[in-house]
Structure 1
Amino acid sequence: MNVLVCLAAILFLLMVLIGGKKGARSFIALFLNFSVLLFTILIMTNPHANPIILTLIACTFISCINLFFINEVNNKTITAFVSTIITLAILLFFIVIVTDKTMIQGFGEEETEELSAFSLYLGVDFVKIGAAMIIMSTIGAIIDVAISISSPMRELYNHHPNVSRKELFTFGISIGRDILGTNTNTLFFAFFGGYLAMIIWFKDLSYSVGDIVNSKIFSAEMINILCAGIGIAMVIPITSWITAYYFDKTRGK
């Protein structure tokens, strides 16, 4: 507990020193996001709750916290918010289909020993739960890409008010191409960093490459990464178009 407090204090100090008031708001936003996720997960345990609806509501709150609470309400955060919600709605529909067809929901056989003492008859739809978890693990990257595109596009518009909508859109796409690879790789390395122990466990179990690839745990995480990468790729043109359209329509106001 003391280590957690010390690390949190160091993080808060660095965020305030570097980011000032915005850094302090970003630190508070961490706890707000955690509260939203925790509250949403608790409600999902109710058999009568719809995880898909809850996920959209939770992602909306998380987007508001990360965009409006940290960066305040302005034209760049509004366009980033709209782009994020549209991308999430499209991605959620796609993920539900993928989760259902690949049957990655539920628990893997490697987890049965730890779960043998518990009842698995929870009365919840694990397909929807699996889709909801993928969306929740993707929301941060989508918001990050959306604001990373809309912010420089606003700067370009402020310095060159006569820039055309096509030039603004092309500028946004150009920025998106630069950050597409790095964000996708970040998700990939985050998976291997978090599941390195699992990969070593697979080796101890004498799993072949085929066994590892077809393992439900490994497949679920890889599908998570691929869906998140698709979401990052989708949000780039959506944010570029919406931001360019918004600034072009509000030109001169």
Structure 2
Amino acid sequence: MNVLLVLGAILFILMVAIGGKKGARSFIGLFLNFIVLFLTTLFMTDPNADPIILTIIASAFISCINLFYINGVNDKTKTAFLSTILTLSILLLLITLVTKYTMTQGFGEEETGEFGAFSLYIGVDFVKIGASMIIMSTIGAIIDVAISISSPMREMLIHNPLMERRALFKSGITIGRDILGTNTNTLFFAFFGSYLGLLIWFKDLSYSFGEVINSKVFSAELITILCAGIGVALVIPIASWITAYFFVKARDKNNMI
């Protein structure tokens, strides 16, 4: 516990020293996000609750925390929030279908030993739980890309007030292309780092390459990475179009007044 407190204190000091008040809000936002995820997990254990609806509600709260609480309520965060929710809605349909037909929900063969003494008939829909897990793993990257696009697009419009909507949209796409590769690589390295022990275990068990690829644990995580990458790719044109549309519309309205 002392190590956790020390590391948390170091993180807080660095975030405040570098980010100031926004850094302090970001640190508090970590705990708020944890509370949202914890409560969502508790509600998902209720057989009468719909995990998909709970995921949408939790995603909306997480988006509000990371956008409005940390960065304030302004035109940039509003367009980023709208882009995030729209992207998650599209992605949720895709993820539900993928989880259903790939049958990667539930526990893999490598994990069953730990649950051998427990009953898995707990009355919840594991397909929806699996889809919810993927969404929760994706939302952070989608929010990050959305605000990373809307913020510089706003700055470009401020420095070039006569920019047309099409040109502003193309600028957003260009910005998105620059951050697409780094974000997808971040998702990949996060997966590899968290499952490094599992990969070593596969080697010790003399798994062939085909057995590793077809393992439910490996396939489920790989599907998570691919779905997250799809979400990151989708949010780029969505955020660019929404930001360009609303920013230019607001500029024209103000000029008319």
Q: How does 1:130-209 map to 2 (within 5 A)?
A: 130-209=130-209
CA distance in structure 1 between the partners assigned to 2:113 and 2:163 by the alignment: 62
Q: How many residues align?
A: 253
Where in structure 2 are there 5+ consecutive unaligned residues? none
Aligned AA for 2:193? G
Q: How does 1:1-253 map to 2 (within 5 A)?
A: 1-252=1-252, 253=254
What secondary structure is seen at the aligned counterpart in 1 of 2:206? coil
CA distance in structure 2 between the partners assigned to 1:230 and 1:164 by the alignment: 28
CA distance in structure 2 between the partners assigned to 1:233 and 1:105 by the alignment: 24
Aligned AA for 1:18? I
Deviation readout 1:95-127 (Å, 9 max, x if unpaired): 000000100000001111111011111100000
Aligned AA for 1:94? L
What secondary structure is seen at the aligned counterpart in 2 of 1:70? helix
Aligned AA for 1:183? N
TM-score, scaled relative to structure 2:
0.98
Q: Shift in Å at residue 166 of structure 1?
A: 0.6
Q: Shift in Å at residue 18 of structure 1?
A: 0.3
Q: Shift in Å at residue 9 of structure 1?
A: 0.2
**Pairwise CA RMSD:** 0.5
Q: Shift in Å at residue 196 of structure 1?
A: 0.3
Q: Shift in Å at residue 159 of structure 1?
A: 1.0
What secondary structure is seen at the aligned counterpart in 2 of 1:251? helix
Deviation readout 1:173-202 (Å, 9 max, x if unpaired): 000000000000000011000100000001
Aligned AA for 2:72? E
- Identity among equivalent positions (%) equals 74
CA distance in structure 1 between the partners assigned to 2:164 and 2:241 by the alignment: 12
Deviation readout 1:4-30 (Å, 9 max, x if unpaired): 000000000000000000000000000
CA distance in structure 1 between the partners assigned to 2:155 and 2:248 by the alignment: 14
Deviation readout 1:62-113 (Å, 9 max, x if unpaired): 0000000000000000000000000000000000000001000000011111
Runs of 4 or more above 2 Å deviation: none
What secondary structure is seen at the aligned counterpart in 1 of 2:106? coil
TM-score, scaled relative to structure 1:
0.99
Q: Shift in Å at residue 204 of structure 1?
A: 1.0
Where in structure 1 are there 5+ consecutive unaligned residues? none
CA distance in structure 2 between the partners assigned to 1:109 and 1:159 by the alignment: 57
CA distance in structure 2 between the partners assigned to 1:118 and 1:19 by the alignment: 46
CA distance in structure 2 between the partners assigned to 1:15 and 1:156 by the alignment: 27
